[in-house]
Amino acid sequence: MSDQRAFLYDVAREDVARTMHDAIPSLLPRNPGHHFVIYADACSGVAGALHERTFASVNSVVRRLHPAPEFILFPGDEIIGLTADADALRAQWRHWFEVEMGWLDRHAVPLWHTTGNHTTYDEMSEAVFREVLQLPRNGPPGQEGLSYWVRRGDLLLVFVHTLWSGLGGEGHVETIWLKEVLEQHRDARHKLVLGHHPVYPINGFGGSYQREIGHEYSARFWDILVGAGVTAYLCSHILAFDVQAHRGVLQICTAGAGTAHRMPEGVEYLHCVQAALDQNGLRYQVLDTEGAVRERLAWPLPSLDHAAWSPLPHGTSPAPLSGMPAPATVVALRLSGRTAARSAAPQTLLCTPVPDMIAPLWLGLRGPAQTLTLILGRERGRSPHYWVCPDFGDARDFDFDIALYPDMGPGGVLWRRRGDISWTSFAAISATGLEQLSWPALWSVGCGERGPDDRRYAGPRLDVAATVIALS
């Protein structure tokens, strides 16, 4: 037996033993729905290579899930690819399916893929992808077997090719067909769209075409998702786990299936995502290679209409939450008032004063456009991280909801106008969010941590209320 086959055989034998005694409970629908796994970016397919071992470590977790997923979604970069030799590319695919994924009964648990930059980088590789994967050929003209859709009862899955050679290659995506498919299946209760490239930057790694869908496509692409009531766009490519919301639609990036690089190192980790969809929405758990839950989500957020709001008086008062928040906890804020005329000085809406240090959390207005900004301190002597949202402008009334959802990581600072039901994440370049913030016991409204004259709010009116919500 070759060394790599012996290694995979040993992993499989250990998996059987662990599955019997160390099963990982799957999230299941609470009412009729679906449960599944999403993972991507293994960049494997080469016997004995590093990524074969890292991919096996993630697969060992997927195999411990009980019950097993109904299906698996893999949004790209299964193999290392990027070769000019079509036969070498076929050999990588063969090794990936027959050896590395040989444990999976694909008749019982279907496995659906998107294209990726390691697998469909030119016309030759696109042809090999079609030939090997034999995916549905219901895509737009010229993209048969590359873009496609699958319907499973009340669930629609649409797979888009975000680097079609017929449009210009990496970062280029067709949108007319996507809109038509979503319209044809408007009766589907659940709609998920999958592509390799993100639409919005992740962890500060941005740039048209190479890291995201080209910016000439992104606004129309997202408008289509919002208009069709899509739950989430699932992508990979950036070697991280990340979730953001934009106008109520989630962007979920999972690219931790084995590629031995991180964006950035020291924060991101190898992982898979196990998810459940039902009439209440989407829930997921992100599992590392030890099977530990590192991140989780329940979406959509509950209505705030009947929340127990506590008005926060100007000045310093006890905070509605102190210490480390429990998992599945959201701190919601209601902000209303009127901005000052022609003010560019920083103005505090709310901050968390801590003796002898810069406030670890500051929310306020900055600059001549009075831009809503959250500043989060990390540690003494290190620069803080910034989240920004809309400009409030001069002498204007405002009425906003803010949700601080630590389980969402950097995407968990969200806003919406009062009366809207759709949340949007603040823009940020941080790889972490509020998940490690220990909330101080005091909050200060209308002034900074140094007292009533520190960056005081300059407008004629400011009202702040807060509530803490435990998600089910």
Q: Is the pLDDT of residue 455 over 90?
A: yes
Strands 241-246 and 272-278: unpaired
The 10s digit of each residue's pLDDT in 355-366 is 888 999 999 999
Measured distance CA(101)–CA(406) in Å, rounded: 34
Amino acid symbol at 289: T
Total residue length of the chain: 472
Q: How far is CA 34 from CA 31, 67, 195, in A?
A: 9, 12, 20
Q: CA–CA separation, 352 vs 375, rounded Å?
A: 11
Take residue 377 and report the two structure tokens written for it. Answer: 């301190």
pTM: 0.95
Provide the pLDDT for residue 436.
86
Distance CA 346, CA 365 (A): 6
How many beta carbons lie within 10 A of that of residue 397, not counting itself?
Answer: 11
Q: What is the pLDDT of residue 20?
A: 47
Contact status, residue 353 vs residue 441, Cβ threshold 8 Å: no
Q: Which pLDDT value is given to residue 184?
A: 98
pLDDT of 227-238, one tens digit each?
999 999 999 999
CA torsion sign, 298 to 428 to 202 to 292?
A: negative
Tens digits of residue pLDDT in 406-452: 999 999 999 999 989 999 999 999 999 999 888 888 899 999 999 99
pLDDT of residue 1: 46
Q: Which of 242-246, 275-279, 306-310 has the lowest mean pLDDT?
A: 306-310
Question: Over the stretch 167-200, which tens digit does the pLDDT of each residue have?
Answer: 999 999 999 999 999 999 999 999 999 999 999 9
Q: What is the pLDDT of residues 13-61, one digit of tens each?
A: 555 545 546 999 999 999 999 999 999 999 999 999 999 999 999 999 9
For residue 291, the SS3 value is coil
Residue scoring higher pLDDT (169 or 380): 169
Residue-wise DSSP of 124-175: HHHHHHHHHH-----SSTT-BTTBEEEEETTEEEEE--TT-TTTTSTT----
Query: Which amino acid, residue 335?
Result: L
Instruction: State the pLDDT at residue 410.
Output: 97
pLDDT digits (tens, 9 = 90+) for 382-392: 899 999 998 99
- pLDDT tens, position by position, 304-357: 988 899 999 999 988 877 777 788 899 999 999 999 998 889 999 999 998 888
pLDDT tens, position by position, 100-156: 999 999 999 999 999 999 999 999 999 999 999 999 999 999 999 999 999 999 999
